[in-house]
Amino acid sequence: MKKGLSLMLVMILAFYAGSQNAACNGTRYKSYTFPSIDSTMAVQYGSNTTIGNNNKNLSMDIYYPKNDVATARPLIVFAFGGSFVSGNRTDMQPICRYFAHQGYIAATIDYRLIDAFITDSFALVDEVIKATHDMKAAIRYFREDAHTSNIYKVDTNYIFAGGISSGGFMANHVAYLDPSDNIPAYIQTAINNNGGFEGTSSTNTQYSSKVHGVLNYSGAIGRAEWIGSNNPPLYSAHDDGDGVVPCPKGLSPGNYPLNVTTYGSCAMEPAANAAGITNSFYEIVGSTGHVSYFSGGTNADGFAILQQSSDFLYDIVCASVGVEESSKNELAIFPNPASTSFTINPSHEGNYNLSIFTIDGQLVEAKNNLNGTTDYDISHLAEGVFIVKAVFSDKMVATTKLIKE
């Protein structure tokens, strides 16, 4: 987290004016609504053992609107970045305060960091699973509170996960890694070794760790194919030339000298489209920075990303999610399966750009300015499953799966 982020958020808040609101009304959950916020610091939500076999008490700082009359409020659980070796929960304080001023409860959590020298990629996978389990325990803490003492007045229908860099990794795996997924044996082993999908960072596993949306700031996931049709909405931001967490599928240089393949936001976006889940992606084109948009106090991309994040969550919290049919329309192609060519017959009018991706999000074909029924040659493609995506001139997006025989 760059220090400039704090200055930038102060500037953003200075642009807004508002009054206290207790429900969705176009202001609350979307812009600066509460002038003052409260916080509860160093709340322990669990504990567990690190890679270095040290016990780690897991705590979080919680921010929420002051003098709020709402009795059920959405929650965002955030995690900081630092390549799983550094960082502190206070790094996410500015973002938590930003969302608390809008009416959310926002928590920034501790999680287990790597505290021993590691020499193989399996240890890094093990660390990601450990950290993901910690975030799940934090989510369960709030669900237990809502069903018992109800101190924080969380609406358990609207719990979100978010994070920067490694924190984004955690949020993505909380949301999209499920027991029904096709999980490589070495990853399943790491999950099993850490107590299964819920982990052992807290004992309250009778409560769900389910989330209803993700704010993924320059994070990634172990497999793009884990993003399925029943998964929650996804908002992502990423530098397209990120040298620490690659935006497409790639090896992460930030992960020591270990060969770990990750699927960044550029691979997650087509996978989300193919799965038909609501998603939005802000791509910083031509940038080799890592989380460049949150550096400096006047970064225009940072302003836009935070406002888009608010708009994205507002659409979910205020029940208009699903109106963006652009991410849910299927594309009519035939024959399917196809061996040499297929015909696309769009029901939507206007010019469109057509892209074909591998199932893990790699772009293999692209043609622009098509219109109406079009024949498309695929004789040169290898056999397998592909994602076909059409983006129309009015921004409507339609996708479908194609089987190449």
Structural domains of the chain sorted by starting position, each given as residue range(s) with its CATH number in brackets? 4-324 (3.40.50.1820), 328-404 (2.60.40.1930)
- Asked whether 160 and 96 are in contact (CB, 8 A), the reply is no
Q: Which residues contact 251 (CB under 8 A, 6 or more apart)?
A: 259, 260, 261, 262
Longest dimension (CA), the chain: 65
Nearest Cα to Cα of residue 64 among 11, 28, 100: 100
Say what percent of the chain tops pLDDT 90: 66
Q: What percent of the chain has pLDDT over 70?
A: 88
Determine the average pLDDT of the residues in 105-130: 94
pLDDT over 80 at 394, yes or no: no
Sheet hosting strand 105-109, strand order edge to edge: 37-49, 55-65, 105-109, 73-79, 154-164, 214-217, 234-239, 279-284
Cα-based distances in Å from 274 to 39, 235, 360: 40, 15, 11
Cβ contact 106:95 at 8 Å:
yes
What is each CA distance from 189 to 14, 181, 184, in whole angstroms?
49, 14, 9
Q: What are phi and psi of 325, to 5 degrees?
A: -65, -10
Nearest in space to 263 (alpha carbons), one of 218, 210, 309: 218
Residue 179: is it exposed, middle or buried by C-beta count within 10 angstroms (0-12/13-18/19+)? exposed
Given a contact cutoff of 8 angstroms between Cβ atoms, the answer to whether 198 and 136 are in contact is yes
Q: What is the pLDDT of residue 322?
A: 34
Are 396 and 389 in contact, with CB atoms under 8 Å apart? Answer: no
Residue 241 has pLDDT above 50, yes or no: yes
pLDDT tier for residue 366 given thresholds of 50, 70 and 90: confident
Query: What's the confidence (pLDDT) of residue 8?
Result: 52
Q: Is the peptide bond before 335 cis (omega within 30 degrees of 0)?
A: yes
Which runs of consecutive H residues, i.e. helices, occur in 16-68? none
User: Would the pTM count as exceeding 0.85?
Assistant: no
- In the block, tokens 């949301």 appear at 175
Query: Using CA atoms, how far apart are residues 134 and 347, in angstroms rounded to an integer?
Result: 45
Q: Which of 245-259, 276-290, 361-375 has the least mean pLDDT?
A: 245-259
